[in-house]
Chains A and B, each alone.
Chain A
Amino acid sequence: MIRPHRRHPLWLAFALHRVSGLLLALFLPAHFGLLGTALNGAEPLDAALAWTDNPLVKFAEFGLVFLLAVHMFGGLRLLALEFLPWSPRQKTLAAAAVALAAATGGAFALQLV
């Protein structure tokens, strides 16, 4: 599992930021490729979108929104850490970033169903 010296909130925030960033980067080409099918009109895009009705894909979409939000809010915390006057409340801010991301993902999921 997580090695003892890593069991603290800011390390977990780091891991979340890295994993979310990596997954989002890997997802991007597929996302761009799907939208690119619209070059040939609406039908190919519709055909590709039909695939997104699958509940599993829907869940993955929720996951993607959460990853995007958590990478953004977590990244804003890091920008603030580096460029704004120092705040000693980094653990609280990291938790707030995750909470905001969960709320964003939740709002998206509510619209999906």
Chain B
Amino acid sequence: MTTAQKSGSGTDTIGNHGTGEGADESAGSSAPGAALSVSVWRGGPGGGRFHDYEVPARESQTVLDVVSWIQQEAEPALAYRFACRVGMCGSCAMTVNGVPRWTCRTHVQRVAANGRLQIAPLRNLPVIRDLAVDMDPFFERWTAAEGRFHPGTTRHDPMAPVDPASPARREADAAIECINCAVCHAACDTVAADPDYLGPAPLNRAWTLLNDAKDEGRDAILDAVAGRGGCLSCHSMGSCTRHCPNGLDPMRAIAGLKRATALRALRGRR
């Protein structure tokens, strides 16, 4: 029941490997019986405002727990999304105290500022209602970035060997564990400024495919990511990498795409 008990527990550390996100947040106190002051954005495409709720503070409480408590106890009509609650499905991302986060794996203690939480829908995507955003524009960009496998063989052909130690495979492996949560999309200011920009996650996906020995769509991928709104629009500000809850580094992946694009242009094959 004490706060000391939970620090270092398994659920607290799994999945937060390799990312510095949240490290600078002041730890809020959650004495038993204490309440959290939570502002939740409610509204729709036409606009909305923050509504305030008092939520009982609990041990090892996640931001998603707080949102669920509000929906179950105070505001049955509150719209929000989640599915797995263990950081795998990528559906629970919201803006927490101004920072995009996966709410199911974000402990209130790590992000609450003096017992306060402000919860808003993700940035850079149209709001459907309350905390639920329309993810279509995000996934349309995956398609536009050729973020799909391009097979070159049939089941009758021999399998192409993939060397797990090859540099290309290592690049792909480092970038592959994306859960499509759109946290990076919400964090990126180039996405906000340029409606054509494909954004970090689709470009990161294109990079994994470009490094996949079995993908035969190299030219299609490079055509897609070299075009308007492609990798060349990225300013390497690193907000994607900073906030990716899975510790991926889209900024690095995009730098790789830029190099591949530049080399192809230098060889005169645009």
The interface of chain A, by Cβ under 8 A from chain B, is 3-8, 10-11, 13-14, 18, 78, 81-83, 86, 90
Q: Which residue of A lies closest to B100 (CB)?
A: A5
Output the least CB separation between A61 and chain B (Å).
Answer: 28
Q: How far is the CA of A13 from the CA of B237 in the complex (A)?
A: 7
Q: Could you say which residues of chain A place their CB within 8 Å of the CB of B238? A: 8, 10-11, 14, 90
Do the beta carbons of A78 and B189 come within 8 Å of each other? no
Q: How far is the CB of B221 from chain A (nearest CB, A)?
A: 18
Q: Closest residue to A83 on the B side, CB-wise?
A: B259
- Taking CB atoms and an 8 Å cut-off, the chain B residues in 224-238 that contact chain A are 235-238
B187 in contact (CB, < 8 A): yes
User: How long is the Cα–Cα vector from A81 to B237 in the complex, in angstroms?
Assistant: 12
A13 to B99 CA separation, bound complex (whole angstroms):
19
In the complex the two chains form, is A10's CB within 8 Å of B242's CB? yes
Alpha-carbon distance between A45 and B64 when the two chains are bound, in angstroms: 67
B251 → A minimal CB distance (Å): 8
Please classify how large the interface on chain B is, using the bins under 10, 10 to 19, 20 to 34, 35 or more: 20 to 34
Name B238's closest neighbour in chain A (CB-CB): A10
- B97 partner residues in chain A, CB cutoff 8 A: 4
**B24 to chain A: which residues have CB within 8 Å?**
7
**A21 CA to B174 CA, complexed, in Å:** 33
Task: Give the complex CA separation of A78 and B259 in angstroms.
Answer: 12
| Residues of chain A contacted by B241 (CB below 8 angstroms) | 10
Q: How far is the CA of A11 from the CA of B243 in the complex (A)?
A: 12
Contact A82 B255 (CB under 8 A): yes
In the complex, chain B residues whose CB is within 8 Å of the CB of A6:
189, 239
**A10–B242 alpha-carbon span in the complex (Å):** 9
- Chain B: which residue is nearest A14 at the CB level? B237
Best-surrounded residue of B186, B189, B243 (most CB of chain A within 10 A)? B189
CA distance A6 to B237 in the complex (A): 9
Task: A81 to B243: give the CA distance in the assembly, Å.
Answer: 19
Residue of B99, B186, B187, B259 near A82 (CB, 8 A) is B259
Bound together, the chains give a CA A10 to CA B189 distance in angstroms of: 12
Once bound together, how far apart are the Cα atoms of A90 and B252, in whole Å? 10
Contacts of B251 in A (CB 8 A): 10
